[in-house]
Structure 1
Amino acid sequence: MTTHSLTLDRVSYRLADGRSLFSELSFSFEPVATGLVGANGAGKSVLARLLAGQLTPDSGQVRGSGRVFLLPTPGYPPRGTVGELAGVGDALAALARIEAGSVDEADFACIGDRWDLRERLQQQWQQLGLPDGLDPSQPAARLSGGQAMRVALSGAWASNADWLILDEPSNHLDARHRQQLYEHLQQWRGGLLAISHDRGLLARMQQIVELDGRGLHRYGGAWQDYVDARTAEREAAAAQLDHARAQHRQQQRSAREQHERQQQRQARGNRDAKQANQAPILLGGQKQRAEATQGRAQQIQADRLQASAQQLRSAAAAVQAAPELALFAHEGERGSARLLQAQDLVLPYGCAAPLQLDIRRGQRIAVVGDNGSGKSTLLRVLAGQESARSGSVQQHAPLALLDQQLLALAGDRSILDTVQAANPAAAPAELRTRLALLGLDAQRIQRPASSLSDGERVKGALASVLYARPTPQLLLLDEPSNALDLSALQALESLLGAWEGGLVMVSHDTHLLQALRPTQVLQVSAEGWQWRDPE
């Protein structure tokens, strides 16, 4: 079997607004199952496009052998046709032209040896549980989020590529289809680079590579090995920072004490000179020699102080390379204990069985089930954004919904404008501080939301929900972990663990569900709704 590698040789890349994303980046990706992690906005998706040849670096080279298939994170609703979503739109169009009589060499080159592409796609779609009769030419917007991701993955499995680069491949997949994805990844024998924050997926990788402002860093082993290594690095960096602080304080004390001794010697010398009966020329020579000695001592001390200050800055930078992020919500009014009631609720789509709900303060309900069963529809109905087929919903307290489409961050509106609109009375400086604690700097929060990464938009949408007025007492969260980086996921888990209001969350992230510590689990299926105790 031929070994294929992907190599970055002193690659530099600037974004359209002139910002430098990568500078002199060099790294070699081995053809093993590799998870790529990093903060939102670090440039993981841009790096993927560079490796796949879809972008050209400003300087340096990307070298590789074999064919690379890139699966980008599909937007929602997805654009184009189902075939284009599967990444084979050009090949299907070329195949159609050849069948219509085309002899264009470009069409034959596009097809290569994939003459059975349609059949292989249909076989993949059947294995992935997609609807029968799915047509590659139909609009992809008709698909649900989970169906869209499975279609995109089908193109990857059918690609026969030497390298797969998958960008957040488990987004929108339910538990059953995530497990199916994991099995496909374990069976893949080519090069694999998975950009993901899904800890279940990362646990199945052979190595983890992290991208940050310093470059790319390789960690052998899977997710837990990476966590242990990063923990050890942070502890070592913190210890080094403590040592550097102590050294710098010692140098500051030494400099202060030296200055005081010099002042005392100078005062004593001045007194002795007045009392001594020596020629002025001799006194002048003594003074010059003393000043020269003092000058050398001062320079040595200044150099030591400067060196200790530089060591302190370097140690502080190492600790701050992975800043801790924080989410916090307004305390707000306690309000009533009962937050929402639903009686004989039948959804317009998905599960047709009636549902009874009585949500009170402190309840944390995890809603689980297959894609298409009605979980997202339930949240929209509870929030009043969609009408039920029958039954009633009574809201007894302010609530907020964070949906998968991130409608609050549509268009060219900035994160800061969106959060300010949700809380007009808040001081802009306070909101900027809170957004900074989410890893959203002053520049990002003022850019159009459409120019930000998926993870940055998720953070902004979270902020617009959590920092709103009136303070929501009931949170409805639909897959809130999608596209969040690991630091933001930890901050979200910390918030949900301490949240005192009501919470209804749809999620397929088992780690997040464990951190949520749900009081109840609501399972939805074609047969109906079922309450069960948390595991």
Structure 2
Amino acid sequence: MPSLTLSDLTFSWPDGDLVFDGVDAVFPPGRTGLVGRNGAGKSTLLRLIAGALTPDRGSVTVTGTLARLRQDLTLDPDRTVDAILGIDEQRKALHRIESGEGTEDDFTLATGHWDIEERAVATLDKLGLAHVAPTPDALGRTVGTLSGGETMLLGLTAALLGDPQVLLLDEPTNNLDLSAKRRLYAAVEQFGGVVVVVSHDRDLLDRMDTIAELRRGELRLFGGNFTHYREAVESEQEAARAAVRDARADVRKQGRELVEAQTKIDRRQRYGKKMESSIPRILAGERKRQAQVSAGKLRANHQDKLNDARRTLTDAEELVRDDREVRIDLPDSVVHPGQRVVSLDGVTLPSGQTVSLTVSGPERIALIGPNGVGKTTLMKAVAAAPPLVPWRVLQQRLNVFDESRTLAENVADAAPHATDEQVRARLARFLFRGRDADVPAAALSGGERLRAALATILLAEPGPRLLLLDEPTNNLDLPSLRHLTEALAQFRGALLVAGHDLPFLREIGPTRWLELTAEGLSEIDPPA
């Protein structure tokens, strides 16, 4: 039986930042959804399990072969399809053998993999990617020619190609259209081993058997799907908030009783002083000593009760979740009704369609369409048109940073007139506080990259009146997604948002829905 066990797993980054300290967990057979805030360490945990990182202490025990789907596949557009699939070296060996130039090492490499190209093409076809590599020769094309969704499905193909027993999936539904999501859901549900899925996709998480929550460096498992997990957490939080209320009431009560006890002691001391003159000095001294002992005991008893109540309150407050949340405030960039914002007239896209698009006033346009049809290409065409208003674009691949420079330096490049304090204040609103702003862009996780990209475009000068957002919900945790939705709903400029997350698109209040197909661009009714 395949299994996955963590024992005393401890890991910290080279700068001393502790991520995990003594984590123990046994992942049960079936599907486990790994959830937690952006930056909680979900991707780091998958890398530790996969052996891409080495723990400081403890161990990871995997029974069975393991495969991992990474969330950053789209960041290297020059990688080839066969390299993503992990069969590029076998293909080269096979081709050398077929041409009569094969070496002994080539035969060793090809043994057991003579049909690797045919199996790869067949697996791609099973996941709806037959057009990516309809023949073995097409396995050499680059990832940059694919959409983000196609690249993620390609990564899943690579993971499944080795017939693993333990499967790690990091944000597998990023960029996937509805049809592709259904195929991925089916692949996950049919997998017979241990699956650990990091995702913000509520539909996918509701197909899990177990939810593992990563919070403050601790891992906790909940039986049931994401809905059951949320209900369990909310029930715990209701009890925790009630415990805090009771503890605060007890602190107030013990505080009052301590004051009352002190008042009583003071009265007794004043009465004792009046009586000293009417009784013998020896007897008065003994009574005074006894009164002081009694007062000390009474005061100490009430002080102990107050201290106990305060400790109980502290313990109860620690159980109440008060996680940091992203605060997004979009520029107050007004676009007046009738003002021309975007104008494309009969532009032929590299994907083959000829499109026309006019955006006037504060329109909010939701752009949908299947993977690979050219939505990102259309967004690039809009961005390349002569600018009619200031605009900013959030690219799907998030390759907008100088990877060698820090996050603060990247943001400062976009806003040369902003002071260092203004840059850091903006980053703090996106949860990059203190030294987090000085991390190299190359070290950011998927969710952190998205938050950083949002911070960069929203601080850019001048403030945008048109936002072009390509799959903006990828990698965002659910609280951050809620804040982004609320901010976009209040934005007074124009929006063009491409995506597959229909609940998100509906919540930002589109004034128009556009669908891009192989035939062209057309306006449609809101999808059901």
How does the TM-score come out when normalised to structure 2?
0.89
- CA deviation map 1:112-150 (0-9, x unaligned): 855532221111223332243454455444443233222
Asked if 1 retains the 8 angstrom alpha-carbon contact of 2:402 and 2:410, the reply is: no
1:311-350 to 2 correspondence within 5 Å? 311-320=312-321, 322-332=323-333, 338-350=339-351
Q: 1:116 to 1:309 in 2, by over 3 A?
A: farther
Matched with 1:155 is 158
Residues 356 and 145 (structure 1), Cα distance of their counterparts in 2 relative to 1, 3 Å cut: closer
Separation of aligned partners in 1, 2:53 and 2:150: 28
Task: Write the distance in 2 (CA, Å) between the matches of 1:111 and 1:302.
Answer: 78
Distance 1:359 1:204 in 2: 42
Letter in 1 for 2:227: Q
Which digits, 9 at most, give the CA deviation of each residue in 1:48-106, with x for residues without a partner?
122223333221121221111112121423454322312445665676788834269xx
> What is the one-letter code of the residue matched to 2:104?
S
Q: Name the SS of the counterpart of 2:434 in structure 1.
A: coil
1:196 and 2:199 are equivalent in the alignment: yes
Change (3 A) 1:377 1:136: closer
Q: Closer, same or farther in 2 for the Cα pair 1:292/1:152, shift >3 Å? A: same
Q: State the shift of 1:170 in Å.
A: 1.5
Whether the aligned pair in 2 keeps the contact of 1:408 and 1:418 (CA below 8 Å) is no
Residue 160 of structure 2 corresponds to residue 168 of structure 1: no
Contact 2:447 / 2:477 at 8 angstroms: preserved in 1?
yes
Give the distance between the partners of 1:430 and 1:246, measured in 2 at CA: 41
Alignment of 1:140-151 (within 5 A): 140-151=143-154
Q: Is it true that 1:229 corresponds to 2:232 in the alignment?
A: yes
The superposition leaves residues 185-206 of structure 1 with CA deviations (integer Å, 9 ceiling, x where unpaired) of 1222222111111222212222
- Partners of 1:233 and 1:94 lie apart in 2 by 58
Q: Which digits, 9 at most, give the CA deviation of each residue in 1:391-440, with x for residues without a partner?
A: xx552x33221112334433233333444554566675565455444333
Q: Structure 1's 437 and 260: CA in aligned 2 closer, same or farther, altered over 3 A?
A: farther
Q: Cα distance, 1:252 vs. partner?
A: 2.6
Higher mean C-alpha deviation, range 521-530 or range 209-218: 209-218
Cα distance in 2 for residues equivalent to 1:88 and 1:476: 37
Report what 1:380 is aligned to.
380
Give yes or no for contact 1:339–1:502 (8 Å, CA) kept in 2: no
Amino acid at match of 1:367: L
Does residue 477 of the first structure (1) align with residue 477 of the second (2)? no
Aligned residue-pair number: 519
Q: Which runs of 5+ in 1 are unaligned?
A: 388-392
**Residue pair 2:74, 2:143 contacting (<8 A) in 1 also:** no
CA contact (8 A) 2:349 2:355 kept: no
Name the SS of the counterpart of 1:503 in structure 2.
Answer: strand
Whole-angstrom CA distance in 1 between matches of 2:79 and 2:359: 41
C-alpha deviation, 1:271, in angstroms: 3.6
- Alignment partners' CA distance in 2, 1:197 and 1:112: 40
* 1:29, distance to aligned residue in structure 2 (A): 0.3
Decide which moves more: 95-104 or 298-307: 95-104
CA shift, 1:368, in A, is 0.6
Change (3 A) 1:23 1:93: farther
Look up the SS of the partner of 1:320 in the other structure: coil
Amino acid across the alignment from 1:11: L
Contact 1:347 1:381 in 2 (8 A): no
Relative to structure 1, the CA distance from residue 111 to residue 409 in structure 2 (aligned partners, 3 Å threshold; closer, same or farther) is same
C-alpha contact (below 8 Å) 2:5/2:27 kept by paired residues: yes
Residue of structure 2 in register with 1:499 after alignment: 491
Equivalent in the alignment of 2:406: 414
Residue 434 of structure 2 aligns with which residue?
442
User: Which of 40, 43, 49 pairs up with 2:41?
Assistant: 43
Q: How far apart, CA to CA, are the structure 1 residues paired with 2:301 and 2:89?
A: 69
Contact 2:342 2:382 in 1 (8 A): no
Moved over 6 A (4+): 93-99
1:116 aligns with 2:118: no
**335 and 241 in structure 1: CA distance in 2 versus 1, 3 angstrom threshold:** farther
- In structure 2, the residue matched to 1:390 is none
Contact 1:164 1:190 in 2 (8 A): yes
- Shift of the 164–92 alpha-carbon distance from structure 1 to 2, 3 Å rule, reads farther
Aligned residue number for residue 285 of structure 1: 286
Residue 134 of structure 2 is matched in structure 1 by 132
- Answering whether residue 256 of structure 2 is matched by residue 258 of structure 1, we say no
Gaps of 5+ in 2: none
Greater Cα shift, 418-427 or 314-323 = 418-427
SS of residue matched to 1:443 = helix
Task: Select which of 488, 506, 510 maps to 1:518.
Answer: 510
Residues 1:320 and 1:472: Cα distance change in structure 2 (over 3 Å) = same
Partner SS, residue 410 of structure 1? coil
Partner of 1:213: 216
C-alpha distance in structure 1 between counterparts of 2:12 and 2:378, whole Å: 43
Identity %: 34
Counterpart CA distance in 2 for 1:425 and 1:254 is 58
Q: CA–CA distance in 1 between the matches of 2:374 and 2:12?
A: 43
CA distance in 1, matches of 2:522, 2:187: 30
SS in 1 for 2:197: strand
SS in 2 for 1:373: coil
Q: Which amino acid aligns with 1:302?
A: Q
Measured at CA, do residues 155 and 35 of structure 1 come closer, stay the same or move farther in structure 2, by a change above 3 Å? same
Q: Could you tell me whether the CA contact under 8 Å between 2:212 and 2:219 is conserved in 1?
A: yes
Cα separation, 2, equivalents of 1:151 and 1:435: 34
* SS of alignment partner, residue 160 of structure 1: coil
Distance 1:58 1:111, change over 3 A: farther
Other-structure match for 1:304: 305
1: CA distance, partners of 2:317 / 2:513: 44
CA distance in 2, matches of 1:209, 1:112: 40
Distance 1:400 1:255, change over 3 A: farther
Mapped to 2, the partners of 1:269 and 1:339 lie a distance apart of: 90
CA drift of 1:255 comes to: 2.7
- Tell me if the contact between 2:81 and 2:143 (Cα under 8 Å) persists in the aligned partners: yes
Distance 2:421 2:299 in 1: 43
SS of 2:19's partner is strand
Match of 1:244, SS state, is helix
The answer as to whether partners of 2:7 and 2:24 remain within 8 angstroms in 1 is yes
Question: Partner amino acid for 1:102?
Answer: E
Structure 1: distance between partners of 2:493 and 2:189: 41
Q: Check the 8 A contact 1:79/1:85 in 2, yes or no.
A: no
